[in-house]
Structure 1
């Protein structure tokens, strides 16, 4: 059983796709934890604001299988394989941690966005403040404490009940 943390993002019909992702992930993970949902401006391109959150849980899938599952969920929710890196998204699922694994293939684990983007780090600190980053050997809470919070503006939002 592996402990995983996934970053969710959407700026197209964003409330719908964040809620849909939470529902689908709940079918594949146990011991789920959900962060608040945050809204932020697009980073790296000019576009509509994003909703972002983090989901934590446990999986019995091996790393490669889990990465394939996340890609399948993205495609089932309108994501195209040829979407540009910095562009609007129906759904973006990034695996942040898979236990304390450090690797580049089949995905960069841990994701470097953890320390670069408030829209990843703030929701992550809500669900895993005591988790130790395996490369930095610091807790997520300590990384968030040291983060320059003036770099990116984001705020919590309430999703409509569906």
Structure 2
């Protein structure tokens, strides 16, 4: 009997944001079933001048390997018009990143776990702390809630009203 891993995935878009985030949520729900979904946060582009991003984090349970999951996410980005021939810091239709896969640590099948952005980007850490406040960061050994409370960088982000499947998912009720 294989074990279902708990996986957290960040979703971001700054081109036709609503359309691409809805497409990602629909595809993830269809493929993985229940999603634990954070509020949707709007933030300024980091590392380049561009339209504001929408970002959120979803939690899934899967028995897929990291490699299989990573391939699925890359294919989903591609289906949504994500281009790979542009600079790292640029506008994007859809950005899907595996943040954590259970408590695995290291580069596994080309995926950095846990993803370093958890500790550096408010638009990753805040939604992660929202849906997994008591989970421990696999390397830091601290809860995401306490990491978010201690977060000092001055990135501005704010929860925005967002509906999925006909119901409001953001801002998430406290």
Q: Secondary structure, in 3 states, of the residue corresponding to 2:162?
A: coil
| Equivalent residue in structure 2 for 1:109, among 109, 113, 121 | 113
- RMSD, matched Cα: 1.3
Per mean C-alpha deviation after superposition, the further-off stretch among 139-148 and 80-89 is: 80-89
Deviations 1:11-67 (A, max 9, x none): 000011111101111012244200000000000001000000000010111111101
Please say if 1:84 is aligned against 2:87.
yes
Gapped regions of structure 2 (runs ≥ 5): 167-174
| Equivalent residue in structure 2 for 1:155, among 151, 155, 158 | 158
Aligned partners of 2:16 and 2:43: how far apart in 1?
A: 15
Please say if 1:67 is aligned against 2:52.
no
Structure 1 counterpart of 2:58:
55
Gapped regions of structure 1 (runs ≥ 5): none
Structure 1 counterpart of 2:5:
2
Runs of 4+ in 1 over 6 A off after TM superposition: none
Structure 2 counterpart of 1:42:
45
TM-score norm. by structure 2 comes to 0.89
Aligned partners of 2:76 and 2:120: how far apart in 1?
A: 25
Q: Which has the higher strand share?
A: 2
Structure 2 counterpart of 1:16:
19
Aligned residues: 161
CA contact (8 A) 1:11 1:48 kept: yes
